[in-house]
Structure 1
Amino acid sequence: MTPAPAILPDDPDILRDMIVSLQTEVARLSASARVYAALVQSLKIRIARLQKQKFGASSEKIDREIEQLELLLEDVKIAIAAADPSPDIREHDVSDGVVSSPRQRGKPKVSDTTPRERLVLDPGEACPACGGPLRLVGEDVTEILDFIAAKLKVVETARLKKSCRHCETLVQPEAPSRPVPRGMAGTGLLAHILVSKFDDHIPLYRQNEIFARQGVDIPRSTLIDWCGQAVAVLRPLTDLIRQDVVKADLLHADDTPIQVLDPRLRQAGKPRGVKEGRIWSYLRDPRPWGGSDPPAVAYWFSPDRKGINPQTHLAQFRGILQADAYAGFRDLYKPDATGTVHVREAACWAHLRRAFH
């Protein structure tokens, strides 16, 4: 920002030093801007090239590399924004005459169901200049999106005991059920812990730190027990989802590797004690061809990739299965003892494309 003339010194030597200092700072910022711009362009080109290879071999590794590059690109853009907080100011490079365009900022899309709070700033009823009455001619409305921090609360349930004045019978309401027997966690807290861990990938020790900042110290061992007990409570629901998904007449199937801890490997002399398990996913989504059933996904875990796993998962499935050419699916396509084919194969074009590209 240019200082006001009233605070500038009168000494020509001091002014000359100030100009030299400002020119040096401008040159440094311009050089930094060019370096950032080149780095951003390089990262975008690398990400674009990797995305073109997305359907090639080892696409899972490419996905992970794209994620890492996008994180790096995000950090670079944050550094640019920190150096110049205003996205509307254009930077002029006098040396080569290039004017960089302002940073692009996407406007947040706010749902109609988002709560709104209206603050009205009223200048009053009398004119501050002459004291005359004011009349409303319009208003200017601006919006600020704010965040209300989550907070924990303790819900006390008091069960009153009453005795009958005639027969001395004690009467007390039954205690309400809890998602975790004899546990202190409510349904909202359990849902938050599970979503934070399995969807937002926040480890339990970090959740412990977050809760401690809110005034509640929940030991990590307790969080682990709550997660396990909540999974047990939800297991009937997952079983129902699986049963409903395999009733569809068309499924998309795929599996993805996952690192699994195995204590037996440590005993065998392998210090990491990690092996590769599998997450099997079966997707039902009839929306592209006008189906009325809601989309759903069923997941299974297995410690290996043996063909018996999908054959067990889809033992009751009857219909078309779209999957890759994994040999473990082949027995599903074979006719049974009566010669009836229960599962028809629909080959995956994305996997087939890998043989050519």
Structure 2
Amino acid sequence: MGKEIESKDKEINNLKNELAYLKGQILNKNKKIFGQSSEQVDSSQISIFDEAENNTDPKAIEPTIEEITYKRGKSTKNIGKKDNLAHLERTVIEHKLEETNAVCNKCDSPLVVIGSKSKEVLKYIPAKLYIEEHITYSYACKPCEAADGISNIVTTNAPRTLLYKSMASNELLAHVMNLKYHHAMPLYRQESYFKMMGANLSRQNLSNWTIAAASEFGVVYDIMQEELLKTHYIQADETTLKVIDAKGKESKSKKYMWLYKSANSKSPIILYDYQKTRAGSCPKDFLKGFSGYLQTDGYAGYNSVENIKRFYCLAHIRRKYHEIIVHLDEEALKKSRAIIGFNYCEKLYKIEKRLRVEYSNHEDYYKNRYEIRLKESAPILEEFIDYVEREIKDALPRSPLGQALEYSRKLLPNMKIFLEDGSLEIDNNGAERAIKPFVIGRKNWLFSSSSKGAKASASIYSIIETAKSNGLIVEKYLVYLIDTLSNTEIKTRDTLIAAMPWSNELPNELKVQTRK
């Protein structure tokens, strides 16, 4: 009888375990489908067609260059700053009466100016396509030819373009890439865009130009990778993408776009790397020669990277507990053991937030952050680890809490590494933000038409996102870089380093103007 009861109790526990697991799976799926998530694309990215209607406000104040007082609840340090339109080029047009009309219609006496009013209008010049034909001439010295039988020939040169055999100008190449990779406008939409401007440019033409330009960018990408590997701290992430094979069918195996970002650097570098697999050999090969800190999520593939100190992301740990408690009502929340783990994460984040507010403008910010973390964050992290070790003994392994605890148990010990250096971040959100433009673009163009196209996308995304991170106007910088590549005979590190997105030698007109 006792054995039968014991067997029934075991069966009941197994069923409870299975029920808790299935409930957790359903709740998480529903949240991903119907709930809000910080990882999802903002709804404004999807509401393309009714964007104007949804955001219109007749009472909104027109932009002005007059002084504006901003009312903010938390900070007043920006009060009195001028609007960002002040740096724009200004054309003044005076509307005066013609001399013949500047007379009184009663006595014919000359009219005198007694005052004036000013109205500011923000103008836009629409894009224009036109053909620029360059005719070069060759010259010969006839007297030399008559005397020596050899002509002294001099030939004029046309401006160089990146794609010598193509009619695409450097400016047009930059515009196409800016639309596709910065503003997520796929090539089939660009085809109709250019058609309305009077040019029939097929998406095949546009695609060929893009891939050819990306090939020329190879030397720039290599320099960027060299510089990235010299940094002491890299954040990494990866995401999937669809690629069409040579037969025009979607590849059955998943393809991946990997991202590597120099973290907390004054000259950020962001690199995308297309690979056919998610194998650990991908980051191992890409980061060969790097010997600093590597921050990632919990994916084991990064363990293959050699000579690095790898640590993890608190946001991913926190998310495991949040997925459990977000569904609970107030009464259930009081009894939940998951809320304890979530609160440990919140305590650590609260310290990070306070450090940013109080010390971010200090010269010794990283030093202060290092010292305060050792004093305040280290004990909380130890308590968190102890909590996990205690709770995991009683938690059902397949339950949401059991999975959250197991995930924490694997990652938390290595989280201590972020206490070693004040420049290290507590989470990997920097890499997740950096990969988001690719994810948004992927929602627009859905797939890459070939592996070659995916590699081209990786190269161009890398240059554009690095330029953005360094405060550059993307399209202007692309034109500048393409012009530099077009007019550089020997493309080496020494000849191109001054044109890199972080270079101090870049012209000021390439930089985004900030408020003063």
TM range (shorter): 0.5 to 0.7
Alpha carbons of 1:131 and 1:284: their partners in 2 closer, same or farther (altered >3 Å)?
Answer: farther
1:286 to 264, 282, 286: 264
Paired amino acid for 1:278: Y
Q: Retained in 2: the 8 A contact 1:325–1:347?
A: yes
1:259 to 1:135, Cα distance in 2 relative to 1, 3 A = same
Partner Cα separation in structure 1 for residue 90 and residue 126 of structure 2: 16
Match of 2:90 among 116, 119, 139: 116
| Aligned position for 2:50 | 75
Give the aligned partner of residue 219 of structure 1.
202
Deviation track 1:257-287 (CA, whole Å, cap 9, x = no partner) reads 2222234794xxxxx5454321111112425
* Contact 1:261–1:274, Cα closer than 8 Å, also in 2: no
Tell me the amino acid that sits aligned with residue 115 of structure 1: E
Q: Tell me, in whole angstroms, the C-alpha distance in 2 between the residues paired with 1:106 and 1:320.
A: 47
* CA RMSD between the two structures: 3.1
Q: Cα distance, 1:135 vs. partner?
A: 4.2
Instruction: Describe the superposition over 1:173-218 as per-residue Cα deviations: whole angstroms up to 9, x where unpaired.
Output: 2644431132111111111112222222223233232223223223
2:132 is paired with a residue whose SS is coil
| 8 Å CA contact 1:320, 1:345 repeated in 2 | yes
- CA distance in 2 between counterparts of 1:300 and 1:249 reads 20
Query: Measured at CA, do residues 75 and 178 of structure 1 come closer, stay the same or move farther in structure 2, by a change above 3 Å?
Result: closer
Equivalent position SS for 1:246:
helix
Tell me by how many angstroms 1:236 deviates.
0.9
Could you list the runs of 5+ residues in structure 2 that have no partner in the other structure?
1-30, 65-82, 146-150, 323-516
In the TM superposition, what are the counterparts of 1:25-44 in structure 2 within 5 Å? none
Contact 1:265 1:274 in 2 (8 A): no
Rounded to whole Å, the distance in 2 between the matches of 1:77 and 1:224 is 31
| Residues 213-234 of structure 1: CA deviation (Å, up to 9, x unaligned) | 2232233332222122111111
Q: Corresponding residue for 1:323?
A: 296
Secondary structure, in 3 states, of the residue corresponding to 1:172? strand
Supply the AA of the counterpart residue of 1:172.
V
Aligned to 1:238: 221
The Cα shift of 1:144 comes to 1.6
Contact 1:277–1:302 (Cα < 8 Å) also in 2: yes
Relative to structure 1, is the Cα distance of residues 327 and 80 closer, same or farther in structure 2, using a 3 angstrom cutoff?
Answer: closer
Superposed, which structure 2 residues align to 1:119-134 within 5 Å? 119-123=93-97, 125-127=102-104, 133-134=110-111
1:314-346: CA deviation from partner (whole Å, max 9, x where unpaired): 1111111111111011233x6xxxxxxx31123
Residue 311 of structure 1, CA deviation: 1.0
SS, match of residue 184 in structure 1: coil
Tell me how far 1:131 sits from its aligned partner: 5.0
Q: Is 2:243 the counterpart of 1:260?
A: yes
8 Å CA contact 1:321, 1:344 repeated in 2: yes
- Aligned partner of residue 317 in structure 2, secondary structure: helix
Q: Percent identity?
A: 25
Give the aligned partner of residue 99 of structure 1. Answer: none
Q: Measure the CA separation in 2 of the matches of 1:240 and 1:112.
A: 36
- 1:171 deviates by 1.6
CA distance in 2, matches of 1:77, 1:191: 28
**1:153 is aligned to 2:124:** no
Instruction: Please state if 1:347 is matched with 2:330.
Output: no
Residues 265 and 228 (structure 1 numbering): CA distance in 2 closer, same or farther, change over 3 Å?
closer
Tell me whether 1:199 sits opposite 2:182 in the alignment. Answer: yes
Letter matched to residue 279 of structure 2: K
1:160–1:243: structure 2 CA closer, same or farther, 3 Å change rule?
Answer: same
AA partner of residue 75 (structure 1): D
Which structure is higher in strand share? 1
Instruction: Provide, for residues 14-49 of structure 1, a one-character-per-residue CA deviation record: whole Å limited to 9, x for no partner.
Output: xxxxxxxxxxxxxxxxxxxxxxxxxxxxxxxx9xx9
Equivalent in the alignment of 2:345: none
For the pair 1:251 / 2:249, whether they are aligned, the reply is no
Aligned counterparts of 2:93 and 2:114: Cα–Cα separation in 1: 18
Partner letter of residue 355 of structure 1? K
Residues 66-115 of structure 1, C-alpha deviation per residue, up to 9 Å, x if partnerless?
43x6644972761785xxxx814xxxxxxxxxxxxxxx567486544422
215-224 vs 313-322, greater mean Cα deviation: 215-224
Q: What is the number of residues matched between the two proteins?
A: 263
Partners of 2:320 and 2:190 in 1: how far apart?
Answer: 45
Q: Does 1:276 align with 2:254?
A: yes
Mapped contact 2:293–2:309 kept (Cα < 8 A): yes
What TM-score results when the alignment is normalised by the length of structure 1?
0.64
Question: SS state of the match for residue 119, structure 1?
Answer: coil
Counterpart of 1:30 in structure 2 is none
Closer/same/farther in 2, CA of residues 230 and 130 from structure 1, 3 Å limit: same
1:323 is matched by which residue type in structure 2?
Answer: T
- State the SS of the aligned residue for 1:230: helix
Tell me the distance in 2 between the aligned counterparts of 1:254 and 1:316: 19
CA distance in 2, matches of 1:120, 1:242: 53
Change (3 A) 1:196 1:77: closer
Letter in 2 for 1:119: I
In the superposition, the TM-score normalised over structure 2's length comes to 0.46
CA–CA separation in structure 2 for the residues paired with 1:72 and 1:149: 24
Q: Structure 2: how far apart are the matches of 1:166 and 1:331?
A: 73
Query: How has the CA–CA distance of structure 1 residues 313 and 80 changed in structure 2, closer, same or farther, with 3 Å as cutoff?
Result: closer
Partners of 2:283 and 2:304 within 8 A in 1? no
Unaligned runs of 5+ in 1: 1-45, 89-103, 267-271, 288-292, 335-341
Equivalent of residue 172 in structure 1, options 122, 143, 154: 154
